[in-house]
Amino acid sequence: MKLLPFWQHEQYLFLPAGPRVTYVPPTLPEDEDSIFAHYETGINFDKYDDIMVDVSGTNPPQAIMTFDEARLCESLRKTVSKSGYVKPTPVQKHGIPIISAGRDLMACAQTGSGKTAAFLLPILQQLMADGVAASSFSELQEPEAIIVAPTRELINQIYLEARKFAYGTCVRPVVVYGGVSTGHQIREICRGCNVLCGTPGRLLDMIGRGKIGLTKLRYFVLDEADRMLDMGFEPDMRRLVGSPGMPSKENRQTLMFSATYPDDIQRMAADFLKTDYLFLAVGVVGAACSDVEQTFVQVTKFSKREQLLDLLKTTGTERTMVFVETKRQADFIATYLCQEKVPTTSIHGDREQREREQALADFRSGKCPVMVATSVAARGLDIPDVQHVVNFDLPKEIDEYVHRIGRTGRCGNTGRAVSFYDPDNDAQLARSLVTILSKVRELSSNYLSSLCPHGPQGGSFQENGGQSQPAAQTAADDEEWE
Ligand SMILES: Nc1ncnc2c1ncn2[C@@H]1O[C@H](COP(=O)(O)OP(=O)(O)OP(=O)(O)O)[C@@H](O)[C@H]1O
């Protein structure tokens, strides 16, 4: 029997049917002003210090209080400072020394509180200290670090952060994700690759094509780890860690970050981590960002559109993300708002990658101050000055709600989230919403408290919080993700 090379086996064939993707994203600006552009920390930045931190596991290293204590090398110290970082956030104070000590980590901290730098800085520091340098001499590149995230826009953002911190050094980050010309990405990889940022499908594709080798891998990072390990992505993650050459968990460092971790996912995540991993919880696991004021408005299915328009009239040109349930709904609402002279763009999984990136650029620049989005934009995106999040449709899952409203109120800034609550459709979420509100003491003044008079424990609402997605939901969402 003739044995097929592993990449020709069915599970490694990831090329989607359909027309060849030729999109090549615009060349990135090279000037320092663009690379280090950042928004200011907000009035509540110092309040991060009051959040309770719990590290469980044996023998955790001491937290650092300043970036000086992180003993970053000169080039990294400079890029951190040019990025406007003066003081580490709690997840950085605890996460950086844990990673630098070589420990595996599962970290949970609220949205917008600096998880990205918490893993990028110690990884880059170690690679720089070891004198790692990108080499373009090999067709096969063997990165020292791989970072995975669930959406194209998020992984690109992480890549830009890595590129920013590694600026002026020999460490070269590269990004690969779907919807972009594979040839273009292969050429980028071949120019040298130390830190590979990728969405799972494209990453596996590159490994399958023999462009990426895993034998030098030291760091394996799962951002939005609970999403990366839920039913939608778990098979890809298992395939990734089972790929030829992938160091066993004992021989690599595995790092997981998210703002939410359902219990069952926490248990399963342990499969990927060494037994002595540390669990870092900044605040209450799965809690919403305390800098976001949460309001609920009772609506009926047919009154939502007008209520959205009324709301947007009061917020004017302030940057607002409007979340809806389906891609069709996203197109429909965006068109409606444009007709009503509200400059609006939209992002969802049916749009071409070129359109998705343009939508994000128009929203970032303020050309379109309103962006209608599906769950594809719920996690991780860090867009300056988003003052509002509107849940036009509430999500089915409470963790999704926490991530969505976390697109505002970032880095110590305050933000507002308004959710349309349709009792005919959203009752199954009421109890978990009440729990979330009670954790940030927003319950007493809130309309939802009247729906759940006995608080998070009592009442007759169906609980749906703290669970991973049911299979049907995951399957439906998958088109939305990479
Ligand atoms: N120590 C710091 N000082 C100033 N700004 C910081 C600091 N750490 C992070 N930031 C900035 O705060 C913003 C939010 O950080 P980041 O995107 O890493 O949050 P996150 O915790 O990963 O959020 P999410 O859960 O939504 O993914 C970014 O613009 C980042 O550059």
What tens digit of pLDDT does each residue of 374-386 get? Answer: 999 999 999 999 9
Contacts of residue 1, Cβ cutoff 8 Å, sequence gap at least 6: none
The average pLDDT across 348-366 equals: 96
Q: How far is CA 469 from the centre of its chain?
A: 17
On average, the pLDDT of the chain sits at: 90
Tell me, in angstroms, the distance from the centre of ligand 1 to residue 223's CA.
13
For residue 381, being part of any structural domain is answered with yes
CATH number of the domain at 206, please: 3.40.50.300
Q: Does 462 score more than 50 pLDDT?
A: no
Q: How far apart are CA 404 and CA 288, in angstroms?
A: 10
Q: Tell me the mean pLDDT in the region 391-413.
A: 97
Contact 377, 371 (CB under 8 A): yes
**Averaged pLDDT for residues 72-100:** 97
pLDDT at 408 over 70: yes
What pLDDT, on the 0 to 100 scale, is given for residue 194?
98
CA–centroid distance, residue 277 to ligand 1 (Å): 24
Indicate whether 1 belongs to any domain.
Answer: no
* Helix %, strand %, coil % of the chain (to 5): 40, 15, 45
Q: Are residues 141 and 241 in the same domain?
A: yes
CA distance 137 to 117: 30
Looking at residue 440, what is its pLDDT?
79
Q: Does residue 451 fall inside a structural domain?
A: no
- Same domain? For 203 and 328 the reply is no
* pLDDT at residue 35, rounded to an integer: 95
What φ, ψ does residue 219 adopt, rounded to 5°? -125, 130
Is the pLDDT at 465 greater than 90, yes or no? no
Please give the average per-residue pLDDT across 67-75, as a whole number: 97
Q: Do 357 and 328 belong together in one domain?
A: yes
| Residue 157 CB–ligand 1 contact under 6 Å | no
- State the helix-helix crossing angle for 152-165 and 115-129, rounded to 10 degrees: 50
Q: Encoding tokens for residue 55? A: 């590290």
Q: Which two tokens stand for residue 344?
A: 């609006």
Q: Compute the average pLDDT of residues 73-95.
A: 97
Last residue of a domain, one of 264, 282, 300: 282
Residues forming a β-bridge with 222? 148, 256
Question: Can you tell me the distance from the alpha carbon of 400 to that of 422, in angstroms, rounded to the nearest whole number?
Answer: 17
Question: Which residue from 126, 32, 130, 44 is spatially nearest to 81, judged by alpha carbons?
Answer: 32
Residue 460 is predicted with a pLDDT of: 30
Q: Quick check: is 155 in a domain?
A: yes
Residue 110 lies in a domain: yes
Atom of ligand 1 at shortest distance to CA of 113?
Answer: 21
Same domain, 243 and 186: yes
- Say how far apart CA 312 and CA 272 lie, in whole Å: 45
Of the chain, the percentage scoring pLDDT greater than 70 comes to 87
SS3 296: strand
114 lines ligand 1 (CB under 6 A): yes
Q: What is the pLDDT of residue 449?
A: 64
> 65 and 127: one domain?
yes
Dist. CA 37–CA 143, nearest whole Å: 27
- Same domain assignment for residues 277 and 296: no
Does 405 contact ligand 1 (Cβ within 6 A)?
Answer: no
pLDDT at 7: 40
pLDDT at 458: 37
Tell me: do 212 and 309 sit in the same domain: no
Q: Taking residues 15-34, what's their average pLDDT?
A: 83
What residue's CA is closest to ligand 1, atom 4? 85
The answer, yes or no, to whether any atom of ligand 1 lies below 6 A from the CB of 356, is no
Check: CB of residue 151 under 8 Å from CB of residue 379. yes
Same domain? 237 vs 305: no
- Chain segment 466-479, per-residue pLDDT in tens: 333 333 333 333 44
Q: Which domain holds residue 360?
A: 292-440
Residue whose Cα lies nearest atom 27 of ligand 1: it is 380
In this structure, which residue's CA is closest to atom 3 in ligand 1? 85
Q: Mean pLDDT throughout 114-130?
A: 98
Q: How far is the CA of 214 from the centre of ligand 1 (A)?
A: 29
Of the residues 282, 316, 347, which one is the last residue of a structural domain?
282
pTM above 0.90, yes or no: yes
Output the pLDDT for position 181.
Answer: 97
Pocket test for ligand 1, best of 89, 116, 402 (most atoms within 8 A of CB): 116
Which has the minimum average pLDDT: 195-209, 225-239, 461-475?
Answer: 461-475
User: Is residue 361 domain-shared with residue 261, that is, in the same domain?
Assistant: no
Written as six digits, the tokens of 354 are 């070129």
CA distance 34 to 31: 6
Q: How far apart are CA 314 and CA 349, in angstroms?
A: 30
Q: How far is the CA of 272 from the centre of ligand 1 (A)?
A: 25
Quick check: 337 pLDDT over 50? yes
Q: Is residue 249 situated within a structural domain?
A: yes
The whole-number pLDDT of residue 448 equals 66
Domain count, the chain: 2
Q: Which atom of ligand 1 is nearest to the CA of 403?
A: 26
Q: 151-168: per-residue pLDDT in tens?
A: 999 999 999 999 999 999
Residue in the structure block whose two tokens are 């963790």: 399
Q: Are 390 and 311 in contact (CB under 8 A)?
A: yes
Q: Is 282 left (phi over 0), alpha (psi -120 to 50) or beta?
A: beta
The per-residue pLDDT for 3 is: 45
3-state SS class at 188: helix
Q: Is 115 in the pocket of ligand 1 (CB under 6 A)?
A: yes
Same domain, 69 and 201: yes
pLDDT at residue number 482: 57
Question: What residues contact 328, with CB distance under 8 A and at least 6 apart?
Answer: none
**How confident is residue 268, by pLDDT bands cut at 50, 70 and 90?**
very high
Q: Is residue 121 part of a domain?
A: yes
- The percent of residues above 90 in pLDDT, for the chain, comes to 84
Taking the centre of ligand 1 as the mean of its atom positions, its distance from the CA of residue 113, in whole angstroms, is 5
